[in-house]
Structures are given as structure tokens and as C-alpha cells.
Amino acid sequence: MRPITLAIHGGAGTLLKGNMTSEKEKAYKDALALALEKGYAILEENGTAVDAVEVAVKSLEDSPLFNAGKGSVFTAEGTHEMDAAIMDGNTLNAGAVSLITGIKNPVSLARDVMEKSEHVFLAGDGAMRFANDQGFSVESETYFHDDLRHKQWLEIKDSDHFQLDHSDKKDHKFGTVGAVALDYHGDIAAATSTGGMTNKKWGRVGDSPMIGAGNYANNMTCAVSCTGSGEFFIRGVVAYDVSCLMEYKGMTLQEAADEVIQKRVLAIGGDGGLIAVDIHGNIAMPFNTEGMYRAKKDSFGTQEIAIYK
């Protein structure tokens, strides 16, 4: 029997243990467990890796705890602008959206770009017109309103600062979500979704929707979803770099993922992490921050839900 594997993340960061209560920790773990179960059920029912990553990411987008979909952070204008991407490692088809507003599940819109348009990446007004054509409904701002996120934004709203999703100046937390999967057919896929950074302006776009930077999948190598300081992940072309190290240097998944996160990203000043799978069902989840919300499950019997190292 071929293996199946699913790994998910809800963002990396310096999640100060002092700011974490046992109730909060349980809420995060429950949300991760729910997304893991939903995505894994698809794989067990012989569904595709693309279906599994979409379902898992949708579940995380529906939770107010993570900076994606419902829990997206506030922009400088007090709105929510979301980015997402999905990639099929079998066909190398990909879809991505950025700067979209009011869409409950940006990952599903990215999938429609992949499957129902002739394009890979749609942004802003155009992406919203495409969403309308595909019958997506637009939620009001109240659906995305969260008191804590609003407070975080109010603290820096009149400044030029923008920050990653966190509640305390020293508590850097990236709340982007993502999933990578291997299905029974031997195909892998990756999906990533984010609200970006609090108080972002000028149409700032991070790595998450950029194919090769924050998200990538290729059956020849691996499927990768990243989280962290997007500007550095774009400059490091991080997800594709993991794939390249496997393809050109013959590294294992773990070696390639560690090389990129623990050496190359750090060397240019970036912090964050990634999750990755290969077609043999190996999983790597390196991060160079204090923690990363993460979970994995596979047909070898592994199951893990973790936050700190």
C-alpha cells in the first residue's frame, strides 16, 4: 500500500510562553487537530492531495485564531487584504490570488484560478471580478473583525510600522496557514493562505501567494508551504530553493529544508519556517523561531500536534 501524508501549519514565530495560557494552547491545538482530521479524511478516502490541502487550509481559514481568512489582520486602511496559493505537484499547475477582500476562503479562489482560468496569478480588483464570475460571495467586514487583531492594529495604525501578526512587541508571531500532502496516487500538493502583515499598505504582498517563494509543489522533489517574514522568503525564493537542493544537489527532504531555513534564510536576516513532504511520505517541518503551530499525520502511524520546539 502506498503511503499518505498530511502536514499543516498555522504560522511560525516567537510565541512567548508567558503569553500562552493553557486554554489558548488548547484552542490552537484543537483548531490544528480539526484541520488535520478534515484534510487527512480526504486522503484516506482516496481523494487527491490538491483536495486535501484545500480542505485543511479552509478549516484553518475558518478559525479566528490564525492570520488567514476569518482571522486576517488589519491593513493600514482598517480593511483585510488576503493572499493565497495552491499548487499541484503532478501537473505543476498552480493558482494564486492576492490583495483580495471579503472572500471567506481565499484558497478556494486560488484553486479556481488554477482550474478555471488560463492564468496563474490574479490580484486586486481583477481577482475580485474573477471571484464574482465564479459565484463567490463577499462577506462584510464584520465577518473578519476580531477584537484582538483590531487592538493590535490600533496600537500602530498612525505610524509607518507594519508588523507580523502578534500581540506583544516581543512576541513575533506569523499566523499564515498552509498544508502539504501526499495522496494514494503518489501525487503531492501545497497550499498557503494569509492576511499578510498588520498595518500593511501600498498593496504590500508577501511570499505566501508567490509560486516558488512561499508555496511550491513538484512530484520530482517536494511540496512546500512557508511562514515567516515574507520579504526574506521572497528574496530567498525559499520553497523553490528546497526543491532545487533536492533536484540538483541530491539532498534529502530534511537536509534541503534545514539548509534553507537554518542557514540561507537566517543568513539574509529572515525568520520563520516551512512544512514539506516528498513522494515517499517524508515530512520536514523546520523553523528558526521559537515555535511554529504545526501538525502532521501519515499512514506510517505518525501523528503530532505541536507549537514549541
Chain positions contacting ligand ASP, by CB under 6 A: 11, 67, 164-165, 174-176, 194, 196-197, 206-208, 214, 227-228, 230, 233
Count of alpha carbons within 13 angstroms of residue 270, beta-carbon side: 29
Strands (E), the chain: 5-13, 82-88, 94-100, 121-123, 177-182, 188-194, 215-217, 223-228, 272-277, 283-284, 291-298, 303-308
CB under 8 Å to 160, separation ≥6 — which residues?
none
Residue 36 contacts residue 283 (beta carbons within 8 Å): no
d(CA 99, CA 126): 10
| Residue 193 beta carbon to ligand ASP: minimum distance, rounded to whole angstroms | 10
Active site residue 176: yes
| Residue 16 beta carbon to ligand ASP: minimum distance, rounded to whole angstroms | 17
| Residue 183 beta carbon to ligand ASP: minimum distance, rounded to whole angstroms | 25
Q: Which of these is catalytic: 5, 14, 75, 176?
A: 176
| Residue 227 beta carbon to ligand ASP: minimum distance, rounded to whole angstroms | 4
Joined grid coordinates for residue 169: 512587541
Estimate to the nearest angstrom the gap between the alpha carbon of 221 and the chain centroid. 19
Comparing CB distances to ligand ASP, the nearer of 47 and 178 is 178
Number of CB atoms found within 10 A of residue 211's CB = 21
| Residue 164 beta carbon to ligand ASP: minimum distance, rounded to whole angstroms | 6
Comparing CB distances to ligand ASP, the nearer of 40 and 121 is 121
What is the full DSSP assignment across 224-291? EEEEE-HHHHHHTTHHHHHHHHHHHH---HHHHHHIIIIIIHHHTT--EEEEEE-TT--EE--BSSSE
- Among all residues, whose Cβ is closest to ligand ASP? 230
Comparing CB distances to ligand ASP, the nearer of 200 and 297 is 200
Comparing CB distances to ligand ASP, the nearer of 47 and 196 is 196
Joined grid coordinates for residue 299: 499512514
Comparing CB distances to ligand ASP, the nearer of 20 and 41 is 20
Q: Which residues are catalytic?
A: 176
